[in-house]
Structure 1
């Protein structure tokens, strides 16, 4: 088999993203991305993973089982530790998937506080793409991710207030309240250089749920339903913003919840 035809590994693709390949190797990867849809999609996925992580899960990290993790690290053979210490800092990104898996086993979920992507990896259908990106990180959420008390009304209002200037959208706790589902936090993120609002909830029956909003000039669109990452998504848009409600609840219940949100926002 010609070397050109060998499917690149995740390590090679990440090295390509980091600019660590030779010109010949980079040209081979570039050609395969242009010719093979599966390789292009894998590169896009790894590009999303190659991101800075911020404070969204600081409370969970403070509760991490440090002693258990330290014992796991101590069990690593010395020659492997030495090799890791000598490796370039960017090589750590190549171990992202393994590190993420270890974190999830330890009960630690990592939020993507910035989920922007360069135009090189942008999909043709922008509206579909942002929903795919949201589904990627919401799929990492567990009930433990959103554990803790429900914020007081004034705290909710303060968090939602961050959307006013950046997103041009004024929301009240009452407008985004979901019946029988706990409000947990509102975060202002970023997608493709644009602000993205995420309001996270915890449904006692089905687990994590989120309402996400971006600016959009695509025009009004009636609600529709799709499935992503094993979750149901109800999405719609008005003249200025696109919305999506994502969660594990059945599609008919998600649709009913979304209809309530739309009605309160339009009021």
Structure 2
């Protein structure tokens, strides 16, 4: 891999965010961000993690003319070869990050419109980020990870009880059962300082599965499907919690199981 296309380190990305790179290095990283989704996501994560946007820019809000910001954003060229129609979310995000970095380097004050954009991206990404973390560790599970007999109902209920207490739910073995798939264990984990419930299952045909639940104030969302780390995911949320069911099971089957457990948890 040539130096030009070497993936930048976190230190390089942080320096890019802080405007500490030479113009040549900044241009190199911006080009990589525009071409590589994983680098763009890492840059976004570091930007959100290290910059207290609202506090940092609050003193400048009254001095930041919206017209200047809009002119700056309008000047960002479209990606060559871009197809018409809807723009992928990560492309929009990368364009925003490019504008953010450019504004930091140039010393341009960011006004309320940008803080609104940051809030929008943050809410969306925090919503999906926990699913990415779950997929990372569930992808490491093998059937041997969950080997052994399925616990009896009384043991299942005892394992679910701490999850109820932490999450403010009322989970029963019947509510979280998956037809034809063995309940193996229920664990309380933590994500971003919040309790995360994991109920693990073993499908005899496709291997480990998990139903995971975390507190969320993102609001109600209808079930949707995605693929992460070679695993299929159905996810949804209500007013207080976000849910995901993940496994190597086929899409149509995981959709059916997810819809079924969602109905039982909502009852």
With the shorter chain as reference, the TM-score category is: 0.5 to 0.7
Alignment correspondent of 1:94:
none
Alignment correspondent of 2:212:
212
How far apart are residue 5 of structure 1 and its match?
8.7
State whether residues 32 and 39 of structure 1, in contact with CA within 8 Å, keep that contact through their aligned partners in structure 2.
Answer: no
Tell me the distance in 2 between the aligned counterparts of 1:42 and 1:148: 39
Q: C-alpha root-mean-square deviation of aligned residues, in Å?
A: 2.8
Once the two structures are superposed, what CA deviation does each residue of 1:86-114 show, in whole Å capped at 9, x if it has no partner? Answer: xxxxxxxxxxxxxxxxxxxxxxxxxxxxx
Tell me the distance in 1 between the aligned counterparts of 2:164 and 2:191: 17
How far apart are residue 219 of structure 1 and its match?
1.3
Q: CA distance change for structure 1 residues 128 and 5 in 2, over 3 Å: closer, same or farther? A: same
> Which structure has the bigger radius of gyration?
2
Q: Which runs of 5+ in 1 are unaligned?
A: 14-25, 46-121
Tell me the distance in 1 between the aligned counterparts of 2:6 and 2:182: 49
Tell me the distance in 1 between the aligned counterparts of 2:253 and 2:240: 26
How far apart are residue 44 of structure 1 and its match?
9.5
Alignment correspondent of 1:142:
142
Which secondary structure does the structure 2 equivalent of 1:233 belong to? strand
Residue 225 (1) aligns with residue 209 (2): no
Tell me the distance in 2 between the aligned counterparts of 1:44 and 1:145: 34
State whether residues 123 and 218 of structure 2, in contact with CA within 8 Å, keep that contact through their aligned partners in structure 1.
Answer: no
Alignment correspondent of 1:252:
252
Alignment correspondent of 1:165:
165
How far apart are residue 30 of structure 1 and its match?
2.2
Once the two structures are superposed, what CA deviation does each residue of 1:40-83 show, in whole Å capped at 9, x if it has no partner? Answer: 656999xxxxxxxxxxxxxxxxxxxxxxxxxxxxxxxxxxxxxx
> Which of 8, 15, 19 is equivalent to 1:31?
15
Once the two structures are superposed, what CA deviation does each residue of 1:164-204 show, in whole Å capped at 9, x if it has no partner? Answer: 22111110011101000000100010001100000000000
Which secondary structure does the structure 1 equivalent of 2:174 belong to? helix
How far apart are residue 229 of structure 1 and its match?
0.7
How far apart are residue 123 of structure 1 and its match?
8.2
Count matched residues: 174
Where in structure 2 are the equivalents of 1:119-134 lying within 5 Å? 125-134=125-134
Q: Which runs of 5+ in 2 are unaligned?
A: 19-25, 46-121
Which secondary structure does the structure 1 equivalent of 2:145 belong to? helix
Q: CA distance change for structure 1 residues 42 and 127 in 2, over 3 Å: closer, same or farther? A: closer
